[in-house]
Amino acid sequence: QVQLAESGGGLVQPGGSLRLSCAASGSTSDYYAIAWFRQAPGKEREGISCISLTDGTTHYRDSVKGRFTISRDNAKNTVYLQMNSLNTEDTAVYYCATDSSPFPCIVVVSQHVDRRAFGSWGQGTQVTVSS
């Protein structure tokens, strides 16, 4: 399984923006999609966005739709998450994940998924939205 590493988290004021990066250690040419998850204190990890590495199709959880944008740079083996209009409810540790087997992005962003379904996880990056 490819190794993933997130970066770009930090402290931002409400209404601010951050861009997270998810860099893969090797080629992602054999992978189908990469998803972003987040986990707030005391809450379950939830999938918030997902992008197909083949055709670039994107999916978003309703809570971030219109504020977050996922994109990919296949040449750099990197997926980005641009987060705008951040609010305190976005405070969480953000993770990217993938698996060598296909997984349905639409399910990732609409339902709870077992983290064991993903063979590769990054270490997470903390995003704190606070004034």
- Alpha-carbon distance values, 117 to 35, 49, 50, 120 (Å): 12, 16, 15, 9
- Res 98 pLDDT > 90: yes
Alpha helices, DSSP H, located in the chain: 105-108
- Res 44 pLDDT > 90: yes
Cβ-count burial 71-99 (b if 16+ within 10 Å, e if not): ebeeeebbbbbebeebeeebbbbbbbbbb
Provide the residue type at 5 as one letter: A
- Res 13 pLDDT > 90: yes
Residue 69 confidence (pLDDT): 98
Mean pLDDT of 86-113: 94
Residue 125 confidence (pLDDT): 98
Going by pLDDT thresholds of 50, 70 and 90, the confidence category of residue 30 is: confident
Nearest CA to 93 out of 51, 42, 31 is that of 42
- Res 74 pLDDT > 90: no
Residues of the chain with pLDDT > 90, as a percent, come to 85
